[in-house]
Structure 1
């Protein structure tokens, strides 16, 4: 902590002369210093996450996994506080160090990924090496909720979609599951997601399929995605999580004129869920019916004024 300028050397000496200093000398007893840290301030703090991670990696390198904290409470810090900006060199040094160490606890993997995603110009191959080494942990990205992904995240997404490595799409899905990407990226991402739909539906575990569906539902509605939703198994797998209502809302949103979908084609796609409603949850059939009613209402011809006059005369 002294080396990373988180505390001064004098503060370090003072700390060692306290009861906390005695506790820190106890061997193989990591201290979770992040517990409740997010509650200490009513205003967001700017967190030097790179320095915190460097302290963690140094302890792991010198002392082993038994001496490092599992980071309980770190998720709250990532959710509620801003991360201090870092250079490409600093982020890549962290990735080099992490790639040469054993697998990390899940929350620390998420912390490193959050740091990396804010620096989209970094070495993408170095990032994917780190992701491939740790993605089996099924960690999530901790993200202060916004309606759309930040600009930096969109920039990194664009680079990931240009990569030929299979792991690049998997990392892109993890990012896209957080919030909505910009429209340019949505088109490329949707094409890639639907190309992999059979693989995710038939061969992926529940955690991977949930992440896949979250990413797809964060995109604007499209006609193409019905190639997936028309398969009853695709929807029945969603029923294992609280995503069925989200899919129903997605169907209804598809009828919104702002998405400029061909209403005849969309109506035909939605009609399938009514004609074969026994194959799908009732919630989906009702959502399809509501969307069709919205389409018909929007596209009804305007009543001729003469009709109103005739009614009045009668």
Structure 2
């Protein structure tokens, strides 16, 4: 054994000794090394043996505990690399995300329980279905393929951009809405289309020429249509509550002997930021055959 290795032996712990002190297995320590979460302080070039400093024990225990929270590796590295209050803040942020996800899953489980038990008709009964005729509209639009978890943030940002663009196009002339041209879920990415009605078609088309490529923006004229819709609250907009609203409208259409004449949509008629959980904010709607303008 060389003098250099003796010095290392005096300063460092072998992987076995370190594992015992950290109350972990050598296998776990090798895994943490491979994942980039806890590197040995020294690796012998000849034997490949790993050595750790005693001061790494608390770091190793912290990594093990964070993994028990099912924390993603990138967030473990972030928390373990922070200090004091900042590390606690990062943990709080992660756990808030976990609780929000669990709350959504709990609601989804209740929704599915109703469907599987045959109580879905009870869920639909609480929705009042009405119809409204919407005149022809000039729309500035923005489209995107997006999964369900990205959808709320994109809708907010997109409608904000389009309402800003409307100032160049004679102003907003109706409630903004989102059209789902195909399913948006965790497995299907649409596309979805945000739409804002504007007054000046020529100005809108000039705007689209300037911004269309960057935003996937466009202009189209929507013919007069009739919508079958139900009005829902801000709390009901969340997934999966909103699924029951869409299904209630579909059930009503079937009961009336009608069929949807186009993709479903969400019409946002209220100030989202100012609205409370129980305030009506959105119409869930399907277009149906319409004779308006004929």
Aligning the two structures, in what range does the TM-score lie when normalised by the shorter sequence? under 0.3
Higher relative contact order (CA 8 A, sep 6+): 2
User: Looking at CA atoms only, which structure, 1 or 2, has the larger radius of gyration?
Assistant: 2
User: Counting helix residues as a fraction of each chain, which structure ranks higher?
Assistant: 1
TM-score by length of 1: 0.23
- TM-score in terms of structure 2 length: 0.24
Of Structure 1 and Structure 2, the greater strand share is in 2
